[in-house]
Amino acid sequence: MAKQVVVIGGGIVGLSCAYYLEKEGHKVTVLDQSAMDGGASYVNAGYLTPSHVIPLAAPGMMAKGMKWMFNSSSPFYLKPRLDAEFLRWAWQFHRSSTPEKVARAIPLIAEINLLSKALYQQMHASGDLGDFQLDLGGLLMLFKSEEAGREERKVMQKAIDLGLEASELSASELRLRQPGLSPEVAGAFHYQCDAHTTPTQVMPRLQQHLSGRGVTLRPATSVTGFETAGNRLRAVLAGNERFPAEEVVLAAGSWTSGLAKQLGLQISLQGGKGYRINVRRPTPVRMPAILMESKVAVTPMVGFTRFAGTMELSGINHQIRRNRVEAIARAASAYYEGLHIEPAEIEGAACGLRPVSPDGLPYIGRVGQWDNLCLATGHAMMGWSLGPVTGKLISELVSGHKPSLSLEAYHPERRFT
């Protein structure tokens, strides 16, 4: 049965929800407070990463965060602040970072990423978005130190045990695939299971497709409240406007927890800021790569090379910390010979906020208090990779179909104990 669905959030997750909901015959309206032309869905590395099987809440990450707390250019930066929600989230993050919990999360992360990659491939084959970039050549993990190589070798073995395709490259094998590397780069791991895209190509095409299919897109529309009746939402309110809804999907990224509060829900979430630099001139970069020691992602996209990275937990803000951008630029120069990012390219850096749950797993599903509300957020650094699968799962819930995979681990009201 076709329903009137309001999706709050116009990033990759919200638009993916709209994409699959429309395919099910629902009448969809997407509301977003921004102009829908920037943010995390536009500034990310564009990776589809089944290989990233270790959640952000991994053993030792909180210790690293505490160590780096007073170094604002570190890859993982926790800004010291006395904020009750942040402190609660930090404690839950710490409680989630155990070997046992990570071991349970690994196969779940691989499963949901593989399904999402397959959906990207279906989307590409459908022609709905035209011939957008979908490069299936894999991802390199470049390392300089033997310690970094040793740690990633363990991760690669976990990926292989899950049936993912990956291999270690020697220094000579690596340079055949990726010339122009610094002599200090000792080797790499090649995750053939991964892929990459150009987000700034996909997002406008997805919007255009949705508009052409009758989906209503409303940028610059801030949700101010909800109209309720019993345990159901009747409408979403935006100032003087009222958007009737038989189903509501809350996919507002880092802003989701604030909106959820209006409905009496406490969703543990922090905005994790990431930065990107675009270089619109020839570079040595042939393959997407993560520079392991500096935690910087490098992606050859359509028309430019992107250097992206960092996880900055400093609250909801879009302040550009130049020292963090400069750290990304320095890393690029340290891994690729002759590559120098110019001051103007650094000045053109942008940032986006990724919604981070305490255990690094997304929130996907219904909440008990409201019969017709679904949440789709908390994807951390996997938002781009998991956009389509999240949209597919939400459309299945709204349509009354059995979900393509179990949602128990992603329940929005799960406990972090």
Q: How far apart (Å, rounded) are the C-alpha atoms in residues 91 and 161?
A: 31
Residue 63 has a pLDDT of 62
The pLDDT tens digits for 65-124 are 666 555 777 778 878 788 899 999 989 999 999 999 999 999 999 999 999 999 999 999
What tokens does 6 get?
Answer: 């309001």
Residue 66 has a pLDDT of 61
Q: Who contacts 345 (Cβ-Cβ below 8 Å, separation ≥6)?
A: 277, 278, 279, 329
Task: Give the HSE-up count for residue 392: Cα atoms under 13 Å, Cβ half-sphere.
Answer: 20
Residue 81 has a pLDDT of 80
Residue 74 has a pLDDT of 75
Closest by Cα among 291, 274, 279 to 342:
279
Q: What CATH architecture is 4-410?
A: 3-Layer(bba) Sandwich (3.50)
What tokens does 23 get?
Answer: 């395919």
Q: How far apart (Å, rounded) are the C-alpha atoms in residues 86 and 63?
A: 16
Largest CA distance in the chain: 66
As a three-state string, the secondary structure of the chain is CCCEEEEECCCHHHHHHHHHHHHCCCEEEEECCCCCCCCHHHHCCCEECCCCCCCCCCCCHHHHHHHHCCCCCCCEEECCCCCHHHHHHHHHHHHHCCHHHHHHHHHHHHHHHHHHHHHHHHHHHHCCCCCCCCECCCEEEEECCHHHHHHHHHHHHHHHHCCCCEEEECHHHHHHHCCCECCCCCEEEEECCCEECCHHHHHHHHHHHHHHCCCEEECCCCCCEEEEECCEEEEEEECCEEEECCEEEECCHHHHHHHHHCCCCCCCCEEEEEEEEEECCCCCCCCCEEECCCCEEEEEECCEEEEEEEEEECCCCCCCCHHHHHHHHHHHHHHECCCCCCHHHHHCCEEEEEEECCCCCCEEEEECCEEEEEEEECEHHHHHHHHHHHHHHHHHHHHCCCCCCCCHHHCCCCCCC
Question: Which residues of the chain register pLDDT less than 70?
Answer: 61-70
Share of the chain above pLDDT 90, in %: 91
Block residue for tokens 């994807």? 379
Residue 67 has a pLDDT of 62
Domain spans of the chain? 4-410
